[in-house]
Amino acid sequence: PHSTSITSSSTRSVPDHKPGIGRTRTAPSSTGETLIPGELVREVTEENFEAIMELSMQVPVVLDMWAPWCGPCRQLGPILEEAVAEAGGRIVLGKVNVDDSPAIGQAFRVQGIPAVFLLLGGRPAPLFTGAVPATAVKQAFDVVLSEAQKQGITGRVSGQEADSAAGAAQTAGAA
């Protein structure tokens, strides 16, 4: 299995004798957070679940257990995506299609969908079940960010994906 780490990617970027030229954005920022390249919303499968667990050591991952035939799931999905975009890369959304990846749903003992869980520091915790309003999602995300801060998990996803998602959330909010 391949293991990608921030350090290995940043050490390959630039020799030390040329400071500042071509540096990657995976180093700690001025606020002390680790900038992580990648997407804010990721499809989670049985094949990539271990990598998602590793990611939760750097940034909180909210898992949305859903299925295409589930009406409440289709209502909640956009609310979660908007809230993740508004968090500015400080939370990643992992979407688990429980029909395609039943072992993940079973491991989390999902009884009904949508079911939303938190992965923080490699540890899972339930957040809520059912389609909840945007205000409840934002309150849950505030708690997630507070707990992540307490545990020193302060990474932030950076790059075009994060920037375009944040722009889309602002555009959607203006409509």
The Cα 163–Cα 85 span in angstroms is: 9
Quick one: residue 14, left, alpha or beta (phi over 0 = left, psi -120 to 50 = alpha)? Answer: beta
Active-site pick, 44, 73, 84, 120: 73
**Burial class of residue 21 (count of CB atoms within 10 Å of its CB; 0-12, 13-18, 19+):** exposed
Handedness of CA 161, 167, 172, 173 (dihedral sign): positive
Q: Which of 70, 85, 104, 120 is catalytic?
A: 70
- Name the 3-class secondary structure at 167: helix
Residue 104, classed as helix, strand or coil, is helix
Is 95 an active-site residue? no
- 165 flagged as catalytic: no
Distance of CA 165 to the CA centre of its chain: 12
Chain-centroid distance, C-alpha 124? 13
Catalytic residues: 70, 73
